[in-house]
Structure 1
Amino acid sequence: MSASTTHWRDPKRYMWALGLLVPLFPIVGAAIYMTTGQIWGWWFAPFMVYLVIPMMDFVIGTDRSNPPESAVAQLEADPYYRYIVYAYIPLQYVGTLIAVWFACTELGPWGIAGALLSCAYVNGIGINTGHELGHKRDALSQFLAKLALAPVAYGHFYVEHNFGHHRNVATPKDPASSRMGESFWRFLPRTVIGSLRSACEIEKQRLERKGLSFWHWRNDVLQAWSMTIVLFAACTLWLGWPALAFLVVQAALGASLLEVINYVEHYGLLRQQDEKGRYERCLPKHSWNSNHIVTNLLLYQLQRHSDHHAHPNRAFQALRHFSDSPQLPSGYASMMILAYFPPLWFRVMDPKVVAHHQGNLSQAHLHPSKAQKLKRRYPTSSNQGLAA
């Protein structure tokens, strides 16, 4: 190994700390409100999420560069990156408590709506913090993963993502893999209910192998949910029932933020089966990727999703771009907005799914009720044969 490779330095090293701006959204909102007395301060977070970040993705563009493979161990051993992820959680809780307090004591309807969105974005993106930590093997990271998921009441994600989604991704068995022709609004209840059922079944089977009941204290799903109960109960005792209502609504909004990203990540992509019905190994072609710099910095490079599925335990700073992975036209911040409007989403993404599969929709993950319609809309010799 050469000296230059041994001492390779991450050019984005200090830019990764920009992700810590996200949990500051409610704090900034509160500061603007207290300084100016203006309710619009609480709408700082939606302004950033729906306008500023997508515009910056467009203006700043993409970066397809990869760290050298020989530098991966060096990157993953550097505690700086781990501390950045850890630091999100105390800021997340401070921002959440500030938003709850102001909503219950100071704000009218418009201010509460802005505080709800601010809190939901912090905790919805906090699921990604829990995602990054949940893939680590040490006890501290796994505990903090559950802690990050508690404000959004999505602790079962810790189990389902690691032991369900990664095993079944881009197959009909995975409730978090969206189908071509399926709108986000149709996908949302399917993935929420399916992921919850899957997590409980996975944990039930794991505990049964140990001779334990589902209701045993070692149940990871129940442990994670208990953190939510403690947080919500404490806030309710502190600020009354309005606090509970606020937390429940922001949790639903935050969970939907995760699920719209799930919707984007594997839309229409399908792992093929061999003659024995076994699915092929998950490859770069089974995840939609984006190298847009700004959103990658804010989301711990979640958009390099192909490498994440190939190497789930690989730290975010070491994830690589693959030339054969399908590329989104923009970053997640822009794509989730598009997903909220199904006609626009289908117009942009369906042709990309068709192109990725070289016109052969038998290779795509189609919504069953839309399959024939899609094959007629995008006719090829292969599709015509299947539709006959």
Structure 2
Amino acid sequence: MQQKPTRLRRESGYWMRSFNAGRKENKRGKQKELHHISWRSAMSEKRLRELFSLTPKQKVRHWAGHDPWQGMRLDNKVQISMNAVLRDNDCHIIRMPLLMKPCFGQPTAYVRHGGSQPISHPRFGTVKSRCMRCLASDACERVAKARLSVTPDIKSAFVRFGQAGGSFGLKNPSVCPTAQREFDGLVSVIVSHGGFRSGNDTAALAELDSREVERKRREAENKRLARRKAIKRGYFTTEFLDLLEREREEREIQLVLASSWDGLPRNVGRIRNHSAQITADVWFVRECKRIRGEDVNPASIARALINKWPDIYPSSNFNSLRQRTKTDLARVDTLERFIVKGSSKPIWPRFDLAVALDELDLITPYTP
């Protein structure tokens, strides 16, 4: 088989189009919105993972902050009764229902943000705080209060903070000038104690791992379906063009091998290697046009050949190529229809897009 001319890879606008090209503006806007929601959810889960991974001492300091929930969107669907949380003598949580709220039972979070502390909203006025809206607030407060009296030092520091103005004093330093100092002292005492552990942290991290796996699986599946849909609409990916090229090469080789068989039609038998290459190229561009629903005729095929392989098919040879292409299209039809004696299949199999897409999923899957 003679050596073929070098094929330059040319992915022009005709052969490879963006997935988003040609879509309506409202669809693009909807996709951007869904992507933004997915991104925001992923960022929230990343933040949750960071907080559930903190050491007990780090948690004490974090939840003593002014806005410790920044960067998180917490589900408020789980209601926990006060008797559902099992603690040991040191107020470490041994067992409780899974709750994706790292603030649960944190004494510094309760002291600064818990209880009945409405907040001022710029649009809706006075509204319930996050802690007031929480369905697990009763159980959370019970655990937090128990932890605030677990040792005499912590209990005394908590009492002094309350006498200095408590959470009201933190918001109104001009009225309660010593509240911040006593609060810092309470935080320091709890940190010195070592903080508090919770078995919910391990369960929550495992749940986040499971969510991450599922999220990646959904993303991979969505990308796979988007690729299939895009290809069916004529927006070819690099992987699909590679698959078509392999199909083209197999047909070229098969035509060269079959050309010496007996009993072949005149337009197939004793074909030269160079003619086999051109016929396979014609098959390639014909399939691309069929998938895209474009007209298939000698002129359109000739233009596509020049566009795809300009080094092999110069534009100056358009007229002769157009005339040649008519013969090659007829040969392709013969190859896909003619069954050699002793065989049950035609020389060339018809290209099945559904089968090709299934093969593409196996070759280049979107893995989580």
Q: TM-score, length-normalised on structure 2?
A: 0.24
| Higher RCO structure, 1 or 2 (CA under 8 Å, sep 6+) | 1
Q: TM-score, length-normalised on structure 1?
A: 0.23
Structure in which a larger fraction of residues adopt helix: 1
Greater C-alpha Rg: 2
